[in-house]
Structure 1
Amino acid sequence: MWQSVVSELSKTWHGVERASYVWYPKIDYSKCTGCGLCLLTCGNDVFRWSDQKGLPVVANPGSCVMGCTTCAKLCPEDAISFPDDPKHFLKQVIIKEKVFLTVKKELKDRLDKHPDHRVSAEDVEAWKKAEAGERSARRG
């Protein structure tokens, strides 16, 4: 059943067959107030709105990006959950599937295609100084 709901766009996650792992949000309707923030912030079309219930529903679970928990982090009522310990779950997938070999290749390909994604050490230092200045201005 799960394999049939994985969307075409998210069939793999860094080389991992997405259908091999169940990863999508679950809504606790005893906590959900129907604010709709989950639907509005999900960029992958996982949620739909039920006019009948006046609440969001997980309509496209296979579109959820593995590792993404944005909806749960932003939910003001803590009504959205993922596996008990998402970090542990993902670490196990990363180790089992040897994801870093694929990630290294994906990173190289991206940097070759988009050289502007690289920064110099000078840029990093300038950002650190600007950030420190902003922090001290807020305190002062």
Structure 2
Amino acid sequence: MDPRAADLLRRFVGELGGEVEVSVRRGSGRSERWETSTEIRETVTGFDPEQGVVELELRDGQTVRLHFDETQLVHLLDGAAADGTEAWGEPLSDEEAAARFLTVHLGESLATQEGHPSGWWEYEDGSFMPAPPWEAFARRRQRG
């Protein structure tokens, strides 16, 4: 695996497993109050940067296995700093911006697509695609 791609995966894993603050409004009028709690989004249960694999356990107990192709990661890094600085309004390195984009792509993909029973997701062109491992492997071999 290209060292830049492996570093990106390490930074992405560092972005995962963080806490998110959830606020809920209870009641109305004079009895209205906000209750705030902290939740863990996901837990990283496995990581192999050389193979491009990250394994997660989601809040609901579901296991998700993410696979990243080196070429896709290197492509994502190219120019990510400029796009990330525009998106987040602060100067970012290519690696930091790309890692943030990966977390956004993961959240969007998990929210909008039903996963394969294997839990395997392949990162491709800015999205995670659910696929059985044998299909993902065959696609990687075709790309060569």
Please say whether Structure 1 and Structure 2 have the same fold, judged by a TM-score greater than 0.5: no
TM-score by length of 1: 0.26
TM-score by length of 2: 0.25
Which is richer in strand?
A: 2
Larger radius of gyration: 1
Which is richer in helix?
A: 1
